[in-house]
Amino acid sequence: MALDFTAIDFETANGNAASACAVGLVKVRDGLVVDRLSTLIRPTAPYDEFWAWNTRIHGIFAHEVLDAPDWVEAQRLILDFGEDDVYVAHNAGFDRGVMRAAAKAARLPVPDMRWTDSLRIARKTFALESYRLPVAALAAGFDDFRHHDAAGDAEACAAIVIGAAKRHELDELDALVARCMSAVHEIGERHEELRELEAARRVAQRERPWWQ
């Protein structure tokens, strides 16, 4: 595996992970940015309300997404762009959660995807007081972007990973992930089934009589 990956960032309309309203993607091959994609997204009802707080952060208003792709189309665009790459996000649990929740809200199977986290990589690479995206990106030599713009944030995420690889003198993503004691996490329908089984097991344990 070379230093190949797709950086991704979501913005949401409200506090629900299913309310994706924008996505930015940046494709990296051999440590170089080779392609970019960004689009607004029309969130799936009933998760399509735009909260004032979220709009204040990312600047996207409800009327701007009326003619945007719905999640069905957005998911297709994401998967076609990223192909079989590992997807990298800053605080990847959030973006991974958006992918899962938005797919379920649109009644789509959760796609098989692999994810890793530029936040974890940054923490094991740069000595900083804060590892927020703008700070970590600056440490990697990248500061020309608008934070909370999905396209800009994806570009910053890519820059962090590329910069970290250079700092560690590595040219493979899996080697960088291992050096930074991070991990590659998977999502997909098989993992959803395992989650459901684990949830059912926990419920059954809580409901068992104390003497059993």
- Report the C-alpha gap between 40 and 23 in whole angstroms: 7
- 42 within a domain of the structure (yes/no): yes
Q: What is the CATH number of the domain that holds 181?
A: 3.30.420.10
- 184 within a domain of the structure (yes/no): yes
- By the 8 A CB rule, do 110 and 102 touch? no
Domain of residue 142, residue span: 5-207
Average pLDDT, the chain: 95
**pLDDT score of 212:** 58
208 pLDDT band, cuts 50/70/90, is low
- 50 within a domain of the structure (yes/no): yes
- 212 within a domain of the structure (yes/no): no
197 pLDDT band, cuts 50/70/90, is confident
Domain count, the chain: 1
- Report the C-alpha gap between 31 and 23 in whole angstroms: 22
- By the 8 A CB rule, do 21 and 50 touch? yes
- By the 8 A CB rule, do 75 and 102 touch? yes
- By the 8 A CB rule, do 54 and 65 touch? no
- 10 within a domain of the structure (yes/no): yes
Supply the pTM of this predicted model: 0.92
Tell me the pLDDT tens digit for each residue of 99-138: 999 999 999 999 999 999 999 999 999 999 999 999 999 9
- 141 within a domain of the structure (yes/no): yes
**pLDDT score of 117:** 98
73 pLDDT band, cuts 50/70/90, is very high
Tell me the pLDDT tens digit for each residue of 6-54: 999 999 999 999 999 999 999 999 999 999 999 999 999 999 999 999 9
- 85 within a domain of the structure (yes/no): yes
- 191 within a domain of the structure (yes/no): yes
